[in-house]
Amino acid sequence: MDPVQLLQFLALCALAFFVLAFTWRMRKFNQLARPSDRSRPKGSPQAGVLYAFTLGMAPWAKESTRRHAIAYLRGVGFHLGIFLCLAVLIASPWVPRLPQEIRFLLGVAASLGAVMGFTGFAMRFMEHNLKALSTPDDYFAVLMVSLFLAAAALWLFGLIPVAVFYIISVAMLVYAPFSKIRHCFYYAYSRLFFGKFFGRRAILPHGQKKQRD
């Protein structure tokens, strides 16, 4: 087994650890007791959940995103870049077989995600309120993920060997379950509870007709 194959194997192990750690966390989370809503349903929980995961995530749906559209778009670009680069990592053994044009486009997308990430990292030093709220883990988590995106982009452009991409990927994947990066799973749960609660009470989607008592 050559060094690249060894690092590829370590990256696969780190990815498996990432999945297993989050699976364990979600299993423990699902075992927690949840309060029950004893009020009579006035709307549809399913419609509320659908809204929460679609139009409820649009920039005009919340005051914070309406007033900070640039920050919202930066966050969207950053997170789309993360999903893209995770897919690139999984497909890395076959990526060299892709046409050069496709690799270049993937590299551009990963680069944009990295720029969004490093911009967010810098903002934690420059923006007063964000700086006051940030913890060491906030800084390190954003930096680790941004380096992951940058390494993916540089490898896709052929500027660094795949070994460097694997090393940074392993570090990020092993660190993720112990850091704020795990919010990606909790965020989905928060949207689910939000949609079910307000959908049941006919508050979401906005304008839905309440059932007659």
Domain boundaries, the chain: 3-29+62-200
Q: Which of 201, 143, 127, 199 is nearest to 176 (CA)?
A: 143
Residue 164's pLDDT is 96
Residues in the chain predicted with pLDDT less than 70, given as ranges, are 206-213
Residue 209's pLDDT is 55
* N-to-C CA span, the chain: 70
CA–CA separation, 85 and 100 (whole Å): 17
Do the Cβ atoms of 67 and 102 come closer than 8 Å? no
CA torsion, points 69, 71, 72, 78, in degrees to nearest 10? 150
pTM for the whole structure? 0.84
Residue 113's pLDDT is 96
Return the CATH number of the domain spanning residue range 3-29+62-200: 1.20.950.20
Residue 208's pLDDT is 60
Residue 138's pLDDT is 93
Residue 213's pLDDT is 44
CA 137 to chain centre: 16
Residue 120's pLDDT is 92
